[in-house]
Amino acid sequence: MTKPLKIVVLAKQVPDTRNVGKNAMKEDGTVNRAALPAIFNPEDLNALEQALRLKDRIPGTTVQLLTMGPGRAAGIIREGLFRGADGGVLLTDRKFAGADTLATSYALMQAIGKLNPDLIIAGRQAIDGDTAQVGPQVAEKLHWPQVTYAEDILSCNGERIAVKRRLERGVETVSAPLPALITVHGSAAACRSRHAKHLLKYKHAKTLSELQDAGNNAYDTNQPEYLRITEWGVADVGGDEQQFGLAGSPTKVKKIENIVFQAKESKRLTASDTDVNGLIKELMANHTIG
C-alpha cells in the first residue's frame, strides 16, 4: 500500500480580472477593486482537483490549503473545504502586505516549514499578476525539485511522482522524487463542485478574526475543532522580518498608468453594403490587401 501523503495546496483569492466591465475603472482611471468579485484563482482550483484525486487514490492522504491575504481570503479556504479539502491555513498580517512574488514565496515557505508536507501543488499563475513565479520560488526556497505546467498527475508511489506537463508546443512526462512542488496548468481537469456533505459540515468554519468581527471573542468550546480555520501571522511562522511584505520585496512599483490609447482619427463605418464595399476597395487600392 502506498504511504499516505500530506499535501499542501497553495491558493490565492484574486479579483476577477478576466471580464472587466466598464464600471471596473473609476472616473479617475484607477481600478475599482470593489466592482470586481473576489474569486478562487482559477488554476489553483485545477491544483486542488489534482490534490483531491491523490486523496481519492491513496487512503489516509490529507489536503491542506495554504493562502495568504486579508481576512476575507478565509473564504477560499471554506470553498476548498466544501470541495473536499481537510483543512487550511490563512496567512494574514499587516507585515505580509505589499509583498512581491519573492516576499510572498518567503512567507509561504516559512508556513510550509510548519505544515511539513510531502507534496505541494499550486496553480501555475494567478490571474491578477500572471507572473507564474511563486511556485518555482517556493520550491527553490525549500530546495525541492519543481514540476511546472502539470496537466495530470499520472502516478505517485509515495517515493516518486509522475507528471504530464503541458508545454507551449507539446507535452512532456517527468518523474520527480518527493518532496516536490508541482504547478498545475489550466488545461488540467476542472475542479469538482462543492459537495453537499462538506457544505453542511464546514458551513460555519471560521477564522478567529471572523468570529471576533461577528462579536464573539473566542471559539465555542462545544463546537468541533474542524470549524476552526487556522490564522497565522509573522509571529506564528517565524523567520526574518526583513524578508516579509514590502520590506522583503526587491521589486518596487515606480509608476502605474492608465491605458492611454493613442487615439487615432478613426473612420466610423456602418454595416451597409456601401460602407463595406468602399472599405474593401480602398484597402485594395492602397495594396493593404490583394
Residue 221 binding another protein, by CB under 8 A = no
Residue 283 binding another protein, by CB under 8 A = yes
Q: Which is nearer to another protein, 215 or 252 (CB)?
A: 252
CB of 12 to another protein, least distance (A): 14
Of 59, 218, 235, 254, the one binding another protein by CB under 8 A: 254
Phi, psi of 229 (to 5 degrees): -95, 120
The 10 Å CB-count burial string (b at 16+, else e) for 12-35 is bbbbbeeeeeeebeeeeeeeeeee
Q: State how beta strands 87-91 and 228-232 pair.
A: parallel
Q: Which is nearer to another protein, 214 or 259 (CB)?
A: 259
Q: Which is nearer to another protein, 200 or 284 (CB)?
A: 284
CB of 174 to another protein, least distance (A): 5
Span interacting with another protein, options 66-74, 88-96, 218-226, 243-251, rule CB under 8 A: 243-251
How far apart CA 274 and CA 185 sit, in angstroms, is 47
* SS (HEC) of 78-143: HHHHHHCCCEEEEECCHHHCCCCHHHHHHHHHHHHHHHCCCEEEEECCCCCCCCCCHHHHHHHHHC
| Three-class SS state of 151 | strand
Q: Which is nearer to another protein, 200 or 269 (CB)?
A: 269
Span interacting with another protein, options 48-56, 88-96, 216-224, 256-264, rule CB under 8 A: 256-264
Which neighbouring-strand residues pair with 69? none
Phi, psi of 197 (to 5 degrees): -60, -45
Residue 281 binding another protein, by CB under 8 A = yes
CB of 166 to another protein, least distance (A): 9
Q: Which is nearer to another protein, 68 or 77 (CB)?
A: 68
Q: Which of residues 94-133 bind another protein (CB under 8 A)?
A: 100-102, 105, 127-133
Question: Of 14, 13, 16, which is closest to residue 73 (Cα–Cα)?
Answer: 13
Of 34, 174, 200, 246, the one binding another protein by CB under 8 A: 174
Residue 71 binding another protein, by CB under 8 A = no
Which neighbouring-strand residues pair with 287? none
Q: Which of residues 132-171 bind another protein (CB under 8 A)?
A: 132-137, 139-141, 145-149, 162, 167-171
Q: Which is nearer to another protein, 214 or 256 (CB)?
A: 256
Which neighbouring-strand residues pair with 123? 184
Question: Of 171, 168, 164, 187, which is closest to residue 43 (Cα–Cα)?
Answer: 187
Q: Which is nearer to another protein, 106 or 202 (CB)?
A: 106
| Three-class SS state of 173 | strand
Q: Which of residues 14-53 bind another protein (CB under 8 A)?
A: 15, 17-20, 24-25, 31
CB of 128 to another protein, least distance (A): 6
Number of residues that bind another protein (CB under 8 A): 76
